Amino acid sequence: MVASFDLDQRKDKVAVVQYSNNAELNFNLDTYKTKADVLKHITSLKPKGGRPQYIGAGLQFVKDNVFVPNAGSRQDEGVKQILIVLAGGRSRDSPRGPASMLKTAGVTTFAIGSRMSNSAEMEMISSNPNFKYSKTMSINMLKTLYPLVVRQPAGRDVVFLLDGSDATRSGFPAMRDFVQKQVDTLSVDDGKDRVSVVQYSSDPAVQFYLNTYTTKREVLDSVRGLRHKGGRPLNTGAALRYLRDNVFTASAGSRRPSGVPQVLILITGGRSFDSIDEPASALKQLGVLTIAIGTRGSDPRELQTITGEPSHAVSVSEFTDLPNVQEQLSSVMSTVPMRVTPLTPTVTGKNMTHLQSPVSL
């Protein structure tokens, strides 16, 4: 597999970890700079030894020690993260939790097992049931499937969270117009971008999910028909928590597990009545890029806490001034990493980790 990667130009990076009763790093993503060095090390690998097998602990080790920036991971730059698990037996611990955390972190996992492996475990570990293989079919299938994993449409999942409390009634039409202008710049019709709109006051209300509409016309028609929600107080924290649990999810149309960038655009006119610290942190952990736009009734420090980046917190005097920040918002949106579709089925731009059982396959 490594022989087919583009390592010499640093488009791809490779790491190898062995596991048995514990995990052992053979080399990380930044250890070697050339394909020759990587292949030389792989050729000299010796079985780690040890028993029993703890696949769950091995997955946890990879998440905490390999798919991290200081070990060479470029996930923050939008580079695809791929894990190949080679297993020769059943695990003595449960891989469910660590496998789920890897998926949440945006890592695409392929599991290859021998006849001594547990098929249910392999399926649990894999990002997709189609990514589970037996020894005999593994290499050819992986070579076929890699391009399909990496060559996904460029795009973003964009969620608008709108302050629909009593205090924004007069400014709501301007807020609605602003959302329309933003949607008009997105590539919805070709399936690249997806859009969701949520209003909130004391509680959130979904206007439509990321997978509700598939054309720009449908999205725009729905936005034009938005009616002010009303209600009080303004619970921004509860709304952010709701988005994490109900909108940035696969069932609601989020493509985060496939590595599609997740963007939240919050437009608010006041201070939150509840705490935003934990929900905002949880969204950051999901990898959601948040842009917050507030009026003079908002708390600038609160907006910066929500975004985690001062330049992503924008202020206007009134909602009618929203067109003045259109260009600034477009500039921030342009920094969101976009997935690129190669012209040929060549696998490039990956951080690859092989997690191997010491049992020979």
Token pair 């969701």 is at which residue? Answer: 196
Mean pLDDT of 319-337: 76
Supply the CATH classification number for the domain 157-333: 3.40.50.410
Where does the pLDDT of residue 152 fall: very low under 50, low under 70, confident under 90, or very high at 90 and above? very low
Does the bond joining 129 to the residue before it have cis omega, within 30 degrees of 0?
Answer: no
Q: Note the pLDDT of residue 14.
A: 94
Where does the pLDDT of residue 349 fall: very low under 50, low under 70, confident under 90, or very high at 90 and above? low
Residues 6+ apart with CB under 8 A from 288: 248, 262, 263, 264
Topology of 2-151+345-356 in CATH? Rossmann fold (3.40.50)
Where does the pLDDT of residue 326 fall: very low under 50, low under 70, confident under 90, or very high at 90 and above? confident
Decide if pLDDT at 344 tops 80. no
Bridge partners (DSSP) of residue 352 are 14, 82
Mean pLDDT of 186-192: 88
**Residue 357 near residue 59 (C-beta atoms within 8 A):** no
Residue (of 134, 140, 137, 83) closest to 106 by Cα position: 83
> DSSP secondary structure string, 144-212?
HHHHHHH-PPP--EEEEEEE-SGGGTTTHHHHHHHHHHHHHTS-TTTTS-EEEEEEESSSEEEEE-TTT
- For the chain, the domains span 2-151+345-356, 157-333
Decide if pLDDT at 135 tops 60. no
**Residue 88 near residue 96 (C-beta atoms within 8 A):** no
Higher-pLDDT residue of 255, 347: 255
The helix/strand/coil state of 291 is strand
219-256: pLDDT as tens digits: 999 999 999 999 999 999 999 999 999 999 999 999 98
Mean pLDDT of 187-200: 92
160-176: pLDDT as tens digits: 999 999 999 999 999 99
Q: Note the pLDDT of residue 294.
A: 92
Q: Note the pLDDT of residue 351.
A: 75
Q: Note the pLDDT of residue 343.
A: 29
What's the angle, vertex CA 205, arms to CA 204 and CA 209, rounded to 5? 115
Mean pLDDT of 88-106: 88
Q: Note the pLDDT of residue 55.
A: 93
Distance of CA 137 to the CA centre of its chain: 29
Q: Which two tokens stand for residue 129?
A: 């049931």
DSSP-derived secondary structure letter, 83: E
Q: What whole-number percentage of the chain has pLDDT above 90?
A: 50
Q: Note the pLDDT of residue 146.
A: 54
Token pair 């009545």 is at which residue? Answer: 273
Does the bond joining 147 to the residue before it have cis omega, within 30 degrees of 0?
Answer: no
Q: Note the pLDDT of residue 181.
A: 92
Residues 6+ apart with CB under 8 A from 121: 55, 87, 90, 91, 95, 111, 113
pTM here is: 0.56
| Average pLDDT, rounded, for the chain | 84
